[in-house]
Structure formats: C-alpha cells, structure tokens
Amino acid sequence: MSGTWINLIFDITICLSLLIGAFFLISGSIGILRFPDVYTRLHAATKSSTLGVAGIMIGAFLFHYVEHDIVSGKLLLGILFVLLTAPVSGHMISRAAYRAGVPLWEKSIKDEYAEVLKKEQKRQAPHS
C-alpha cells in the first residue's frame, strides 16, 4: 500500500517539475517578444532557460530514477552545467553589448555599469 503512495508522490513531483520547467520556458519566450531592449530580453532568456531546462532535466532525472532505478550521472552533470553556464554566458553577452554601445531602454532608471566602466578605463589609460 505504501509503495503506491510513494509512486504517486514521485509521479506528482515529476509532473510538477516538468510543468514548472515548461512554464519558465514559455514565460521566457513571451519575455523575449515583449521586453523593449536587448538587456531585458537577455535577462528573460537567460533566467527562464536556466530554470526551465533545469526543471525539465530534474523531471527527467526523477523519471529515470523512479521508473528504471537509474541514477543518471549525465543528467546530473547536464543540470549542473546549465545552472553554471547559462547565467555566466548571459552576463558576458550583456557586458559585450554594453561595451559595444547598445543603448539601454530610455525608461531605464539606473545605469550602474557606467561608473564601473569609467573607473576601468581610467585604470587602463596610459600614464603620461
């Protein structure tokens, strides 16, 4: 009797994980279409893909564990890889866009990176 309850709990957990992952991917897609500039679009794409893909991969990991008694090291490494690399790549792309002169949205309130960039440029300027 308790085995069926445990299976039911695992099935619900797997379904919730897949649904949460799908929700984040869909909301990120909507964000890419609706947000006004490259930085907010990149934010939507990076955050949603990280959480969406991780949720789906966690669901797949739990499915393989429950149904086939397999602990998939490849899925665990894939989850870890996505969680580590997607935010870093999003940051690097947005930093490159800023340095290339892509303008912020005109209704942006604060530009914190401008001060950091000025300090960096002063530090790298040749001393005369």
Q: Poorest-confidence range of 19-28, 36-45, 70-79, 100-109?
A: 100-109
Q: How far apart are CA 56 and CA 59, in angstroms?
A: 5
Amino acid at 22: A
- Among 44, 48, 24, residue whose Cα is nearest residue 36: 44
**Cα Rg of the chain, angstroms:** 21
What is the pLDDT at residue 128?
Answer: 54
Q: Is the pTM of this model over 0.85?
A: no
pLDDT(28) > 90: yes
Number of domains within the chain: 1
Q: Which residue has the higher pLDDT, 116 or 16?
A: 16
**For tokens 């914190």, what's the residue?**
112
Identify the pLDDT of residue 96: 92
Residue partners of 65: CB distance under 8 A and separation at least 6: 71, 72
3 pLDDT above the threshold of 80: no
The pLDDT, as a whole number, for residue 1 is 41
Residue 71 phi, psi dihedral angles, 5° rounding: -95, 105
Tens-digit pLDDT profile for residues 73-127: 999 999 999 999 999 999 999 989 988 888 888 887 777 777 888 888 888 877 6
> What range defines the domain where residue 50 resides?
2-124
Q: What whole-number distance in Å separates Cα of residue 35 and Cα of residue 28?
A: 10
